[in-house]
Structure 1
């Protein structure tokens, strides 16, 4: 019930962590669709590439990988994303944060840390933990420290929680 992405991130497929697993399951929400995808198609997923695609394909289509997945199925694990059988709402890639990298720092009032990161990703953005020149926005709560300082030094736009809520158009949190 926690989703295919979480399972994929936890089973030690080379190059696959939480971020890669989410990218893959956004395109392939069931294990059958992921397993059936050719390497070239997997590699075409944004941020995946040939090395990751080859690793995923090799594991899912190996005898060991198949046994592993069969064992999960045998104990009742559903190998798909929770909403895989529902039609997609407006494309996530067209969300207000599409293509944006967002860092969250400080103590937040409106959101728990995991909630805001999930919201950022649901709206097409990428939530990261460190500020770099590739960061588009920093959402700063109370007592923001070195990340806020670095963002200011790099000239990155800093948003309060209220400004972030306005930016995303009052999307449900």
Structure 2
């Protein structure tokens, strides 16, 4: 019984999760989210040629050609997923009331999160959930400190990333301060 419930729940997953599960080389979770948000539907992804695929952030000519070829090869599998009722549409990212057209409080930033999220962010208990929250608030999410990082959110038991961020002069905030900054984007 539980297996059937899980299968039904999986049918409602966003396109990004389905696309990632297809396993096309070079399309991990982050890239799958970018592709799904750019195209919106599996139909649009399947119709994309290499030139259209390069319009997705971080997709170059070589990667685009590979993704397009793999999507074509996965056509029969995608058809079976559609026939089984699997969701092949990426939900539109909703902005909170009063934020229509705004880029969010984190616009233009690259945010890294380290440690366990608690308090107001306890519901964001996986890296995927935290990344989606950061992207909804207008920023790019990264897994490690780099020259592009502008903000580090340090949760409970934060690790060595804090020292790296301090050394690089990157702004560091605790999870409660971060939650206040993006309060309008937190799911209630």
Give yes or no for TM over 0.5: yes
Aligned 8 A contact 1:13 1:56 in 2: yes
Deviations 1:81-136 (A, max 9, x none): 2x25xx965458x2222332211122332213433322102122222222223211
Structure 2: segments with no counterpart, 5+ residues: 1-11
1:147 aligns with 2:158: no
Mark the CA change 1:12 to 1:169 in structure 2 (over 3 Å): closer, same or farther.
closer
Q: Distance in 2 between matches of 1:145 and 1:88?
A: 32
Structure 1: segments with no counterpart, 5+ residues: none
Query: Number of aligned pairs?
Result: 167
SS in 1 for 2:165: helix
Partner of 1:40: 51
Structure 1 stretches of 4+ with a deviation exceeding 6 A read none
Q: Distance in 1 between matches of 2:155 and 2:75?
A: 45
Aligned 8 A contact 1:16 1:52 in 2: no
Q: Distance in 2 between matches of 1:53 and 1:99?
A: 25
RMSD: 2.2
In structure 2, which of residues 137, 145, 148 is the aligned counterpart of residue 123 of structure 1?
137
Aligned 8 A contact 1:6 1:21 in 2: yes
TM-score under structure 1 length normalisation: 0.83
**What displacement does 1:60 show?**
2.4
Mark the CA change 1:6 to 1:91 in structure 2 (over 3 Å): closer, same or farther.
farther
In structure 2, which of residues 152, 156, 168 is the aligned counterpart of residue 138 of structure 1?
152
Mark the CA change 1:14 to 1:142 in structure 2 (over 3 Å): closer, same or farther.
closer
TM-score under structure 2 length normalisation: 0.77
Partner of 1:105: 114
Map of 1:155-166 to 2, 5 A cutoff? Answer: 155-166=169-180
SS in 2 for 1:104: strand
